Amino acid sequence: MSLSIPKSLAISFIGILSIPPIAFASFQYIYPSDPDLTYTKHGKLTVEWVKFSESDNFTEYLAKDKTFDEDTLVANILVMRNYQKPQSSIYDHEQVRYSSMVSHQTVNCRSRTVAIQDLMLFSSKLSKGNLVKNLYELDYDSGEAQPGTIAEKKVTTLCGFTS
């Protein structure tokens, strides 16, 4: 006794089972999610990024490797920010369009400030694509981290403050 499934039933069954993967892939194409952990490679340098914060406009990652100077209470971190939509800014009298940025930031635990030292803007997400603009030695300090901001979250996380 052999069991055989009619072709129309088999095709229907395969079609029904393929709906969830197609729907998931379509949803990810329209609304891509940012992973919790990702790696990027720049030349010989490979960086491991861990998701730090997320909003409607962007997702921010911190490099896993950080340095902390216990004498000055200053942490040096690399931050990658992926924007949901391409950004446009004017630098040195020219318009720049970018989708992600990598910055070198210092977090001062004594003054509770976050300062951007260097900034690189990339044409694609996850710091891929072309390097659109690089700005070095900015030393931009936004002042004391305000409650509820990403800067305050960096200060509390990296400095070990509870409030």
pTM: 0.73
Dist CA 27 CA 49 (whole Å): 24
Average pLDDT over residues 3-17: 84
Average pLDDT over residues 26-43: 72
Q: Which domains occur in the chain, in start order?
A: 37-159 (2.40.128.710)
Look at residue 103 in the predicted model and tell me its pLDDT: 92
Q: Is the pLDDT of residue 80 over 90?
A: yes
Could you give the maximum distance between any two Cα atoms of the chain, in Å?
A: 82
Strand residue runs (E) in the chain: 37-42, 45-54, 58-63, 67-69, 74-91, 94-108, 113-124, 128-135, 140-144
Percentage of the chain modeled with pLDDT above 70:
91
Average pLDDT over residues 49-56: 90
**Mean pLDDT (the chain, rounded):** 85
Look at residue 144 in the predicted model and tell me its pLDDT: 86
Look at residue 62 in the predicted model and tell me its pLDDT: 94
Average pLDDT over residues 61-89: 92
pLDDT in tens, 132-151: 888 877 777 778 888 889 99
Report the alpha-carbon angle 85-66-62, nearest 5. 15
Look at residue 1 in the predicted model and tell me its pLDDT: 54
